[in-house]
Structure 1
Amino acid sequence: MKIPQPRGPISTALFSALAVTAGTDDAAAGVEELRRLVTAQLQAATDIIGDDDVQLALFCLYELHYSGLEGVGDEWEWEPGLIQVRHLLERPFEAALRAAAQSAAGELDLPPAAEMTSDAVADVLFGLAATDTGPSVSRYVSKKATLEQLKEFLVHKSVYQLKEADPHTWAIPRLTGRPKAALVEIQADEYGGGRPERMHSALFARTMRGLGMDDHYGAYLDAVPAVSLAAVNMMSLFGLNRRLRGAITGHLAIYEMTSSQPNRLYGNGFRRHGFEAEVTHYFDEHVEADAVHEQIAGRDLAGGLVEAEPELLGDVLFGATAVMAIDGRLSAHLLACWENGETSLRAAVPAAA
């Protein structure tokens, strides 16, 4: 992925540090300056989730563990000083997610975790999904969205969907038994069952091409606001930290439980503008697949994990309610902009490659 434009002092210092060879004196000096800057900037930060500079820096630090950044050596991935900087940014981000998740969850009356069966865990998660009555982007897309708004919608989603399933895959070696098998089953479908053209990321890229858009990963990174980056950074935070393996399973479970009907509406919105299966296949595929995945994710993955490790129930619920909170914030942003006739992006971007 190409290095994006910086959005403030942290991302500017990060990209400057990454411009030299890892392990050199210049690299060490650049990272130390970055660490000092991050420490100072975080003291003044009031909204980590909506902070463009922080979220872009975190996104690019995480990207070193995925496809990497163009012109940046792979040696940077585990450079100790850079990992320390990432931890500095992660701590307040996780705290903000926990606060938002607690607000979204309200008061849950649960039995002791050790007494929770996998079915009981799934029932709690399905109950949470049913309480998600926030602003509905899917209904707006289905009934009202203009062609330009459909393109904006794809821009926001492209930050994750063009690498769909990768953040959750980090959890596979951290699980055992029933939850591990459940996650592998879900991920196998996400990756097309061994057929590259059926990978969900490939289906989404085809949708973008169908609207004349650039389907290269990261092509629209400069255009998306902080909250769109935060939604993806949340997945990477959960997936890359073993201590949060409960959160990544809860994230995936609620993701699957709240996906099928919205994707049906998304597909209808694109059909309303005359697009056919070549464009809508991505959404239509998720209507069917996620109706099956929600049961596996709720009972076998999240429920199976809590049965095996009851102490992780709190983090499973944290992962689920954090999704609801951040998706609700992103949805509110999109709808407020669109209903006022404004762009939801940081800047208007050309739709075609």
Structure 2
Amino acid sequence: MQNTADLLPKIDSPTLPKNKPTLPNYDAADRQFVNLLEMEDLDKTVVAKPLLVSDLESAIAVAVRSAYQQPEGDEAAHLFLQRLLYRINRLNLFWYDDLRRYNNERSHYLRSVRDRIEAPWQQWEIAQIDVAALQNIEDVKQALRDRAAADVNPELTQIDRYLREQMTEGGYRHLLAIASFDGLVEASRVSRIIGGAGNEIQSTLTRVLIEEYGGGRLARKHSTYFAQMLAEFGMSTEPEAYFDIVPWQVLASINHNFLLTERKRHFLRYNGGLTYFEIAGPVAYRNYLAAAQRLGLSQAAMGYWELHIREDERHGRWMLDEVAIPLADRYPDEAWELLLGYDQEKSIGDRAGLAVVRSIQAATIKGRSGAGA
């Protein structure tokens, strides 16, 4: 039986600086970090001028303690840490933007920051899953099939009904703004697991990626359909345009997938998670489609959801039958990690979904208040 600790980074958590009774200014620390990212030769500068990052370092240490070592994690700390992680992780992909943004993509200092946040965060995440129970499941393939059967068409929840029956057009726009953060560059992380030896599993993953990318034709790429929805409302179609309203729970979902795709040791976990994502995706998309239809929106304002419902239903079957099950056969001793990835993706996704709905509701109340002022 494999030790759970083997799945986690071997990094000591930072200690909280002494004599820091007040909370740091996370917004100021975040702005400082953005400036550091584009600095010429960041590593040499930090060594020569360590005081330059002292406030940032203090903010990180306080935030790690506040987010992951307290019974009730501080929301501001979670948001600050997940924003830092995302800013580092997105350097692994090219966005056709200002080349200076990649000046420090291999910085040792940035890697240190990432590891010191990622380790306690992942320990916190995995503590919420009963790993021992997963390790003791004898028939992993049946467990995967059972999960898929339950998640492909579940009973409607209160969140589902709110989206379908109560979300306003303003709320729908807010949903698009948050979803655009991933929707405009979707499937990018899948590309990180395609390389390597060829076999049937790799071929299936490649088919999923090719369909997400429209077979190499921009007009058919899924992100193009998402951009069309945004354009229909006169919203920005630039990636990351709505960064400031993205809940930390959504950023955590994205960062979690960055971690799993960047570390090949987590290949099984990622594919277990991707299996859940493709199986359960149409459930969420049907909610959004039903809301758009109720609101009487145009076809362009909802076309992405229809496309995804059709294709992800097929992708879910592919992932279960042609990726997850064959991986369980190929790696019988580690097959439980597929279940870990599946269950974590579901848990993290549910948390993010709830956060998005709360954000929509808050924006709707704020909009009504502003309209009545």
The TM-score range, normalised by the shorter chain, is: 0.7 to 0.9
Q: CA deviation at 1:203?
A: 0.8
Shift of 1:82: 1.4
Alpha-carbon distance, 1:250 to partner = 1.2
1:159-174 to 2 correspondences below 5 Å: 159-173=181-195
Q: Indicate which of 319, 331, 340 corresponds to 2:341.
A: 319
Change (3 A) 1:257 1:230: same
Counterpart Cα distance in 2 of 1:48 and 1:241? 28
Q: Is 2:179 aligned against 1:157?
A: yes
Match of 1:56 in 2: 83
* In 2: Cα distance, 1:175 partner to 1:100 partner: 34
Tell me the equivalent position of 1:100.
128
Which segment drifts farther, 154-163 or 22-31?
22-31
In structure 2, the residue matched to 1:197 is 219
Q: Deviations over 1:256-312 (max 9, x none)?
A: 111223323321211222223222210001111011111111121122222212243
CA contact (8 A) 2:152 2:279 kept: no
Pick from 255, 264, 273: which aligns with 2:295? 273
What is the aligned partner in structure 2 of residue 79 from structure 1? 107
Contact 1:48 1:92 in 2 (8 A): no
Going from structure 1 to structure 2, the CA distance change for 1:167 and 1:311 (only over 3 Å counts) comes to farther
Q: 1:307 to 1:41 in 2, by over 3 A?
A: same
The residue that corresponds to 1:3 in the other structure is none
Q: Distance in 1 between matches of 2:157 and 2:314?
A: 25
Aligned to 2:22: none
Which residues of structure 2 form unaligned runs of 5+? 1-24
Instruction: State the alpha-carbon separation in 1 of the partners of residues 251 and 322 from structure 2.
Output: 29
Aligned amino acid, residue 30 of structure 2: S
Total equivalences in the alignment? 336
Q: Is the CA contact 2:152–2:283 (under 8 Å) kept in the aligned structure 1?
A: no
Is the deviation greater in 306-315 or in 254-263?
A: 306-315
Alignment deviations for residues 225-267 of structure 1 (CA, whole Å, 9 cap, x no partner): 2112112112112111212111211111001111223323321
Aligned ranges for residues 185-224 of structure 1 at < 5 Å? 185-224=207-246
SS in 2 for 1:203: helix
Q: Deviations over 1:160-194 (max 9, x none)?
A: 11110011221112575222111101111100112
Change over 3 Å in CA distance of 1:72–1:132 after alignment to 2 = farther
1:135 Cα deviation after fit: 4.4
297-306 or 323-332, which moves further after superposition?
323-332
Q: Distance in 1 between matches of 2:128 and 2:363?
A: 25
What secondary structure does 2:92 align onto?
A: coil
- Residues 77, 191 of structure 1: CA spacing in aligned structure 2 closer, same or farther, 3 A cutoff? same
Classify 1:274/1:128 alpha carbon distance in 2 versus 1 (closer, same or farther; 3 Å). closer
Offset at residue 58 of structure 1 (A): 0.5
The alpha carbon displacement at 1:55 in A equals 0.7
Whole-Å separation in 2 of the counterparts to 1:262 and 1:223 = 20
Shift of 1:18: 1.9
Judged with a 3 Å threshold, the aligned counterparts in structure 2 of structure 1 residues 126 and 255 are, in CA distance, closer, same or farther, namely same
Do 1:174 and 1:245's aligned partners in 2 also have CA atoms closer than 8 Å?
A: no
Query: Which residue in 1 is equivalent to 2:363?
Result: 343
2:262 is the counterpart of 1:235: no
The alpha carbon displacement at 1:212 in A equals 1.8
- Letter paired with 1:78: R
Write the distance in 2 (CA, Å) between the matches of 1:61 and 1:234.
Answer: 13
Matched, 1:249 2:271: yes
Q: Which residue of 1 aligns with 2:13?
A: none
Please identify, of 183-192 and 265-274, the stretch whose mean Cα deviation from structure 2 is larger.
265-274
Which of the numbers 26, 29, 33 marks the counterpart of 1:14? 33
Distance (whole Å) between structure 1 residues aligned to residue 215 and residue 366 of structure 2: 36
Q: 1:221 to 1:265 in 2, by over 3 A?
A: same
Q: Which amino acid aligns with 2:124?
A: A
For residues 61 and 137 of structure 1, the distance between their equivalents in structure 2, rounded to whole angstroms, comes to 32
Deviates more, 1:132-141 or 1:310-319: 132-141
- Gap change, CA 1:122 and 1:185, over 3 Å in 2: farther
Q: Which moved more, 1:241-250 or 1:136-145?
A: 136-145
| SS of equivalent residue, structure 1 residue 343 | helix
Q: CA deviation at 1:40?
A: 5.2
| Structure 2 CA distance for aligned equivalents of residues 346 and 84 of structure 1 | 39
Could you tell me the TM-score, scaled by structure 2's length? 0.79
What is the Cα deviation at residue 109 of structure 1?
A: 9.0
Corresponding residue for residue 25 of structure 1:
44
Cα gap change, 1:326 to 1:135, in 2 (>3 Å): farther
Aligned in 2, Cα 1:294/1:130: closer, same or farther, shift over 3 Å? closer
- Output the CA distance in 2 between the equivalents of 1:265 and 1:178: 33
Instruction: Select the residue among 327, 331, 334 that pairs with 1:305.
Output: 327
